[in-house]
Amino acid sequence: MAFPQITGSANSSRASNNVTDPVTLPASIVAGDLVIVFHFSDTALTRTFPAPWVEIIDSAYSGGNCNCGVAYLIASGGETSVTVTKSTSERFTALAIKISAASWHGTTPPYIAGPSEGASTIPDPPSATAPWGSADNLFIALTNIDNHSAEITAPLNAYPATYTDNHLDSDYSFNSASSGSIATRNYAGATDNPGTFTINTSDQWQAFTLIVRPKLGADVSVAATRHALTLTEYSATVDAAINVQANAASLTITANAATISANITFIATRHALTLTEYTTTVNAAINVQATTDTFTITAYTATISEWVDIDATVDTFTLTTYPAIVNIVETVDVDATTVALTLTEYTAAISEDYNILATVASLTLTEYAATISADITFTTTVDALTITAFETTVNAATEVSATCEVLSLTEYKSRVAIGRFVPVFNSGVFISHLAA
């Protein structure tokens, strides 16, 4: 990983009252750049940024002396300005920065902590912790100062001691507008407390700490024959965007103790993806397009959220052995011949939406101990749906439209509600061992 890089800035201000404020953006913005605007004004007004800008804070000092708004934009390229609309006609100052597309995460919004506030000479931004955990994070200390008599001068007397980069200020030359400053630190950690700014005279202030996430920690492309990618023994967050294009390739992620967010694409023949032995949250978006592929997720003890698209021949998707409270939300699209989807040994709620378009395909759900809600569609020949050994409520809306299909619902020990549609000949429907 590398730290996010500020590659440009711009100032804007107006010493007369108005509701609309034109804010100049840094020059040469390109697609994917992260643009952040820090907008400052007087009183306790609020502001609105136009879409697609996203405002992450709109806050006024508790005494109504000054206020601050922060918004970001993932640039399309070529942007030069944005107009901010305030609830009250007032003066304003603003500072805009851009962070290069190649250096920041690309989708995760900047995180902001605060405000802290006070009336003194030492604006003090709060400690902040990145929700995504330790990484090559860019921390931004921000202060907003009332500057009611234009008594504050820029540059400030001092910026936070460890925040030695990007000492940037809005216009401090006139009063009744509010002014602001930032300073940044590259810090390979999750949490930091910036320390204080120092101004030349006591005034009302607010302070915030922002964190910008770096580009993905693992951005891996494998395009060859018989390659293998292995990620093992992580003790914190892993955020992996992985593209594997090869024959007989494999990806293995094992023994992680914290959050995993994986966006994985296979486009080849005889691939295997295995995720094993996680102890907390796993969030996986997986696309497998190949022949004789296998996707296996085993031995989780907490929440799993996954979206899986399997488009191939003789594919297998297996989720097994969840020993704790598991909430699984899955959208599974299987489009192939001789495909199998198996979900076994869950102990809590499951919500599934399955679409299977193939020949000799099968869906098996076994040994659940709690509620199941399933919306399942088969549209081909020689398909089988089997749901067995549930101990409580099953709510299934099932549509089977093909030849020689089998729907079996067996060994329920409590209430079962089933919606079933079988519109062709030579099909079999079996429902047995149902409690009243």
pLDDT in tens, 93-148: 999 999 999 999 999 999 999 999 999 999 999 999 999 899 999 999 999 999 87
Residue 1 in any domain: the answer is: no
310/332 same-domain check: no
Distances (CA, A) of 317 to 54, 131, 140, 206, 388: 38, 31, 44, 52, 18
Within this chain, do residues 332 and 424 fall inside the same structural domain, yes or no? yes
For 261-286, letters b (16+ CB in 10 Å) and e give bbbbbbbbbbbbbbbbebeeebebeb
Contact between 45 and 88 (Cβ < 8 Å): yes
- Domain span at residue 163 reads 6-212
Asked if residues 197 and 92 have their Cβ atoms less than 8 Å apart, the reply is no
pLDDT digits (tens, 9 = 90+) for 191-209: 999 999 999 999 999 999 9
pTM listed for this prediction: 0.56
Number of Cβ within 10 Å of residue 9's Cβ equals: 17
Question: In this structure, are 374 and 394 located in the same domain?
Answer: yes
Domain match, 220 and 87 both = no
Residue 276, pLDDT above cutoff 60: no
The mean pLDDT of 315-325, rounded to a whole number, is: 52
The number of residues in the chain equals: 436
> Which pLDDT score is estimated for 422?
40
pLDDT in tens, 381-416: 566 666 565 454 555 555 555 455 555 555 544 444
CB atoms within 10 A of CB 383: 25
Of 297, 317, 337, the residue at which a domain comes to its end is 317
**At 339, which amino acid appears?**
V
Pick from 364, 377, 382, 390: which is nearest to 420 by CA? 377
pLDDT higher than 90, residue 28:
yes
CA 322 to CA 324: how far, in whole Å?
6
pLDDT greater than 80 at residue 38 = yes
The answer to whether residue 52 scores a pLDDT higher than 70 is yes
> What percentage of residues in the chain have a pLDDT greater than 70?
49
If asked whether residues 231 and 298 sit together in one domain, one would say yes
Whether residue 330 lies inside any domain: the answer is yes
Q: Is residue 260 part of a domain?
A: yes
Does residue 50 surpass a pLDDT of 90?
yes
Domain count, the chain: 3
Task: Mark whether 297 and 350 lie in a shared domain.
Answer: no
pLDDT band at 177 (very low <50, low <70, confident <90, very high): confident
Last residue of a domain, one of 212, 241, 276: 212
Does residue 296 carry a pLDDT above 70?
A: no
Task: Give yes or no for residue 372 having a pLDDT over 90.
Answer: no
Q: Quick one: 277 and 415 in the same domain?
A: no
Nearest-angstrom CA–CA distance, 33 and 101: 4
